[in-house]
Amino acid sequence: MKVLTVGGGGREHAAVEALYRSGAEIYAVMKNANPGIIKRSKEHLLCDEKDVAKVCSFAKEKGVELAYIGPEAPLEVGIVDALEAEGIKCAAPTKAAARIETSKSFMRELVDKYNISGNLGFAHFDNAADAEEYLKGIDYEIVVKPIGLTGGKGVKVQGEHLNSFEETMDYVNEIFDQNIGGAGVILEERAIGEEFTQMVFVDGKNIVPLPLVQDHKRAYEGDVGPNTGGMGSYTDSNHLLPFVGEDDRKAAIEILQSIVDAMAQEGCPYHGTMYGQFMLTVRGPKIIEINARFGDPEAMNVLPILESSFTDICWKMATGTLTDDVEFSKDATVCKYVVPKGYGVKSESGHEIAVDEEAIADCGAVVYYANVDVKDGKLVTGTSRSVGVIGRAPTLEEAEQNCEKALEHVKCDAIFVRHDIGTRALVQRRVDHMNELRSA
């Protein structure tokens, strides 16, 4: 099957590898020359991923039958609507369905309208004065988010990033003054607990759950520093997490099924991978955000252990024929992102980076290229995450060790890594935190 892929990041490289393993002939569109994607593609086009006309023209010219869209930005501008108008099936949501991610107020109001469990208190505003008046009237900590897309970097939390009323209002004003996210601000009740990711495949009505993953947003070891797009993630061999039990996972899956049902009732049925980010609290899972695609880096944990044909799954998601016979191997995976110095604040870019894929494979790991490019025949870093290194093994501890060994084979003079991701100490801290909250 001829498959169009859109996107040039680590998430998209992982998806391309899964499509390639399942026999797809790949035609890739991306804004950067990702060497891993280029290696697996029959042909590729370098262009703005939001240039709908150019992407559609390339897809028609190559006779593709199915499209996989990786990033959220092309979804927001309606790339799926345009491709489907040309008769190309898409394992991704339409512009209307992608609002579950592209508009945080749409998501919260949908969950509220259909009385779906897991919602948090929220209010959204189109001006700073009304937001300030609201903040003066509440006595609990909140989370400040731009309503629109910010690449996972726009969230600030009272008590972590914002330590006074003045700091909170400074950020609210910054969102409006700089038009961050482009659609106003949403203030949400702060949930206390541990975050986890439950992703599902969706065909418009049916869902199939993927293994649970935990991402790590903070830039530096010990969960400090600015929020990022994600510094790394892990999944355990039993497809759960050490602090998430079967009942909590079932509750999260039921929330996602209810959202899919609600979207169908709203006339915008959802097709593609849906990403549910939850906070496990003493009152069960609470919705932090819903995304209209794979998580990044979470895709790099689950796609390497997918044993079923990803091409078949994408076709079934696109055509409303999804079945629950999707198989994953019982391996643990640990992903650690290699990122440019300054990432999360102001990245240093343009540094040459060397990746020894064979040596990484010998370590029981795999590497996915992300925000890198080829300049003058050399692989160089961009301003975002550079490469994801994923250790795989029967146990979480072995997978983390394999990842660490493999990281030695990525060389650059201006990079850093969060080495604590997937370690016994950090995972135990998550478990202890949940036990403390429950006992209190």
The pLDDT tens digits of the residues spanning 195-221 come to 999 999 999 999 999 999 999 999 999
What's the confidence (pLDDT) of residue 394? Answer: 98
Three-state DSSP at 105 gives: helix
Answer for the pair 93, 292: CB distance below 8 angstroms, yes or no.
yes
Fold of 2-94: Rossmann fold (3.40.50)
pLDDT(15) > 80: yes
What are the two backbone dihedrals, phi and then psi, of residue 121, each rounded to the nearest 5 degrees?
-60, 140
Query: By percentage, how much of the chain surpasses pLDDT 90?
Result: 86
Side-chain-facing half-sphere of 113: CA atoms under 13 Å: 12
pLDDT for the residue numbered 183: 75
* 211-257 tens-digit pLDDT: 999 999 999 999 998 889 999 999 999 999 999 989 999 999 999 99
- Looking at residue 99, its pLDDT comes to 97
**Whole-number percent of the chain with pLDDT over 70:** 100
pTM of the model: 0.94
For residue 137, name the pLDDT band (cuts at 50, 70, 90).
confident
How many residues are recorded in the chain?
A: 440
Query: Of the segments 6-15, 167-176, 185-194, which one has the largest average pLDDT value?
Result: 6-15
* Burial of 101 from C-beta contacts in 10 A (0-12 / 13-18 / 19+): buried
CB burial of residue 328 (10 Å; 0-12, 13-18, 19+): middle
pLDDT the model gives residue 182: 80
Predicted local confidence at residue 362, as pLDDT: 98
pLDDT digits (tens, 9 = 90+) for 291-311: 999 999 999 999 999 999 999
Fold of 194-426: D-amino Acid Aminotransferase; Chain A, domain 1 (3.30.470)
Domain 2-94 shares a fold with domain 121-189: no
SS3 assignment, position 262: helix
For residue 27, with 0-12 CB atoms within 10 Å meaning exposed, 13-18 middle and 19 or more buried, which class applies?
buried
Judge whether residue 105 has pLDDT over 80.
yes
CA contacts within 13 A on the Cβ side of 104: 30
Counting beta carbons within 10 angstroms of the beta carbon of residue 25, is it exposed (0 to 12), middle (13 to 18) or buried (19 or more)?
Answer: middle
pLDDT (average), residues 25-54: 97
Residues 88-105 have a mean pLDDT of: 96
Q: CATH class for domain 121-189?
A: alpha beta
Residues 229, 153: contact at Cβ < 8 Å? yes
What per-residue confidence (pLDDT) applies to 178? 87
| Unique residue bearing structure tokens 């991923």 | 49
Q: Give the start-to-end residue ranges of the domains of the chain.
A: 2-94, 121-189, 194-426
- Is the pLDDT reported for residue 151 higher than 80? no
List pLDDT tens digits, range 300-354.
999 999 999 999 999 999 999 999 999 999 999 999 999 999 999 999 999 999 9
Q: What is the pLDDT of residue 154?
A: 82
> Which range (29-43, 127-141, 225-239, 362-376) has the least confidence?
127-141
| Structure confidence at residue 290 (pLDDT) | 97
> What's the mean pLDDT when you consider all of the chain?
95
pLDDT over threshold 90, residue 180:
no
Q: What is the pLDDT of residue 152?
A: 67
